[in-house]
Amino acid sequence: MIKQAEWFAEMTRGYDRDPEYQTEYLKLIFGEELGKLMDQQHVSQAELARRIGTSRAYITRIFRSNFNPTFETIAKLAIALDGEISIHLHPRETEVRWLEIPKEPEVQIPGNWNAGAATTTMRPIVSGVFNRESASAA
């Protein structure tokens, strides 16, 4: 008897290269993330609609995956929930894992640090890419 996981893997083989499948997947993920932010902030669909100047029916369509948002709409939704959009395109042979961490506080640097300039505000930047090949080669 075939196991459910094996059956699912067989049925979905090749979908990762299908643009329609990828589009639906992105809409599903976006809807899930949007819903999480709304839940965390106790924002209803009606309130979100009010914040971006649209109807509640429009917001409902987002969660039913029968809409294709523009980047402008995605940006409006993010701003309305004080969120940020992160898009990352990567090679197929790498795996991406997201980690949300609080932003570092801004650091005030005295003006005399940079040849007499006024006080400068800086935020530390942390960046890095990890893939299995570079890790095993090290």
pTM of structure: 0.64
What pLDDT does 46 receive? 96
Q: Count of domains in the chain?
A: 2
Assigned domain for 92 exists: no
Does residue 97 form part of some domain? no
Q: Are residues 64 and 111 in the same domain?
A: no
Band of pLDDT at residue 130, cut at 50, 70 and 90: very low
**pLDDT-based confidence at residue 134 (cuts at 50, 70, 90):** very low
Instruction: Tell me which residue of 126, 62, 69, 121 sits closest to 100, measured CA to CA.
Output: 126
Token pair in block for residue 26: 């992105």
Do 11 and 72 sit in the same domain of this protein?
A: yes
Does 9 map to a domain? yes
Q: What is the pLDDT of residues 80-121, one digit of tens each?
A: 999 999 888 889 888 888 887 887 776 666 655 555 555 545
State the Cα–Cα distance between residues 122 and 119, nearest whole angstrom: 10
HSE-CB for 127 with a 13 A CA cutoff: 3
Please give the backbone phi and psi of residue 131, each rounded to the nearest 5 degrees, phi first.
-140, 160
Cα dist. 114→4, 42, 110, 118 in Å? 63, 44, 8, 8
**CATH number of the domain to which 38 belongs:** 1.10.260.40
Give yes or no: residues 69 and 115 share one domain.
no
For residue 12, the enclosing domain spans: 4-80
Same domain, 8 and 57: yes
Query: Token pair for residue 114?
Result: 């940079």
Q: Three-state SS string across 63-97, please?
A: HCCCCCCCHHHHHHHHHHCCCCCCCCCCCCCCCCC
8 plus 70 within the same structural domain: yes
> Is there a domain that residue 94 lies in?
no
